[in-house]
């Protein structure tokens, strides 16, 4: 890695982050009795504990300021194995230019990390689909997706048209040995404006080709969707079509009736979303990579370590949940 200059002294970094690894008790993750934990024994879990991932958006401030050459080794030290990208850039002052995709791939390989996926703007798929698939292959990732809603036209026809578009992109990804995925927020679980009894997410799921279009369930946003538009069980979607959900965003929320979403985003293990029940209820079929995300992590104090401290504590809590 000598070809990538580091502008941050690692010894200073480790001193700054010392004392931030206090584990959160397993009970704070689940709120359930030990007997319930036994029901979700590691051998029966479909979220492997040895493939915990991180969405780099959670530590976007550190990626930008310190660069991949500092951040990726630190994530490997914490124990993360899978990296989901939210862009491929860092501050140009770190190298005197922008880092390249092959350089990022080298950093991944050198630190025993795997690229599991990437969030790409939906407009990039429309204008530069093959270029985005090229980037995914350079980084060695099996999935490439978007965190954008399928469409802003919240009608049945609008979501059917979006599904047709995703089917085309998904077929192109399949032809390259990749899986295209869509990551939800809460709005996808709303009802169609023209057919108030029809849930938009159901339209998208029904009309996308399961051979070519996959889903990344953001569990936090699914529960927000349940809070705002009741009548569905997030775990049931996965249980009914487990192979369509290769990736999860495991983001925690703390109930707050003053928040229109019903929950505040918090570090994993500090909230009260029913994660143990969810993991048990999705069933043992298929395998889903659990990816930690916390949109608010860059606001974590003290800084340093800030978002990386949140990443370490959340990893410990996730590890506890998954046994």
The pLDDT value recorded for residue 15 is 42
Q: Three-state DSSP class for 56?
A: helix
The pLDDT value recorded for residue 31 is 37
Q: Give every CB contact of residue 196 below 8 A, 6+ residues apart in sequence.
A: none
Say how far apart CA 277 and CA 188 lie, in whole Å.
23
User: Model pTM?
Assistant: 0.88
Q: Give every CB contact of residue 109 below 8 A, 6+ residues apart in sequence.
A: none
pLDDT of the chain along its 323 residues, tens only? 434 433 334 444 444 444 433 333 333 333 333 333 333 334 469 999 999 999 999 999 999 999 999 999 999 999 999 999 999 999 999 999 999 999 999 999 999 999 999 999 999 999 999 999 999 999 999 999 999 999 999 999 999 999 999 999 999 999 999 999 999 999 999 999 999 999 999 999 999 999 999 999 999 999 999 999 999 999 999 999 999 999 999 999 999 999 999 999 999 999 999 999 999 999 999 999 999 999 999 999 999 999 999 999 999 999 999 98
Taking residue 96's Cβ as centre, other Cβ atoms within 10 Å add up to 7
Q: Transcribe 174-203 into DSSP letters.
A: HHTT-EEEEE--SGGGSBPSS-TTSBHHHH
The pLDDT value recorded for residue 75 is 98
Q: Give every CB contact of residue 280 below 8 A, 6+ residues apart in sequence.
A: 36, 39, 40
Question: Alpha carbon 287 to chain centroid distance?
Answer: 15
Q: How many residues does the chain have?
A: 323
Task: Note the helical H segments in the chain.
Answer: 10-17, 26-30, 34-39, 60-66, 68-78, 101-110, 122-139, 156-175, 200-207, 219-228, 234-240, 275-281, 307-322
Say how far apart CA 307 and CA 75 lie, in whole Å.
11
Say how far apart CA 180 and CA 123 lie, in whole Å.
14
The pLDDT value recorded for residue 10 is 41
Helix axes 122-139, 101-110, angle to 10 degrees: 50
Residues paired with residue 143 on neighbouring β-strands, in sequence order: 179
The pLDDT value recorded for residue 28 is 34
Say how far apart CA 16 and CA 46 lie, in whole Å.
36
Q: Transcribe 273-296 into DSSP letters.
A: --HHHHHHHT-SSS--EEEE--TT
Name the residue with tokens 């997410």.
Answer: 201
The CB-side HSE value for 42 (13 A sphere, CA atoms) comes to 10
């Amino acid at each position: 890695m000598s070809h990538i200059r580091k502008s941050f002294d690692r010894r200073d970094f480790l001193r700054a982050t010392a004392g931030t690894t206090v584990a959160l008790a397993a009970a704070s993750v689940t709120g359930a009795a030990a007997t319930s934990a036994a029901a979700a024994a590691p051998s029966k879990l479909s979220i492997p504990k040895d493939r915990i991932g991180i969405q780099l958006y959670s530590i976007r401030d550190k990626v930008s300021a310190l660069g991949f050459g500092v951040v990726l080794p630190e994530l490997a030290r914490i124990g993360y194995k899978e990296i989901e990208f939210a862009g491929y850039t860092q501050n140009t002052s770190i190298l005197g230019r922008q880092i390249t995709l092959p350089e990022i791939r080298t950093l991944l390989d050198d630190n025993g990390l795997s690229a599991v996926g990437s969030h790409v703007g939906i407009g990039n798929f429309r204008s530069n689909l093959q270029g985005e698939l090229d980037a995914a292959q350079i980084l060695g990732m099996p999935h490439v997706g978007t965190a954008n809603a399928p469409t802003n036209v919240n009608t049945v026809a609008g979501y059917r048209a979006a599904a047709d578009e995703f089917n085309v992109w998904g077929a192109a990804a399949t032809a390259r040995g990749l899986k295209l995925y869509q990551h939800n927020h809460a709005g996808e679980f709303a009802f169609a404006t023209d057919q108030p009894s029809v849930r938009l997410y159901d339209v998208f799921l029904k009309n996308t080709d399961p051979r070519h279009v996959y889903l990344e369930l953001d569990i936090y946003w699914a529960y927000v969707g349940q809070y705002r538009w009741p009548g569905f069980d997030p775990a049931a979607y996965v249980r009914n079509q487990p192979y369509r959900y290769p990736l999860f965003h495991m983001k925690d929320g703390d109930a707050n009736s003053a928040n229109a979403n019903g929950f505040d985003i918090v570090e994993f293990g500090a909230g009260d979303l029913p994660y143990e029940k969810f993991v048990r209820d999705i069933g043992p079929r298929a395998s889903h990579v659990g990816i930690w995300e916390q949109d608010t992590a860059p606001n974590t104090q003290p800084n340093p370590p800030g978002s990386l401290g949140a990443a370490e504590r959340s990893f410990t809590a996730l590890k506890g949940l998954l046994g």
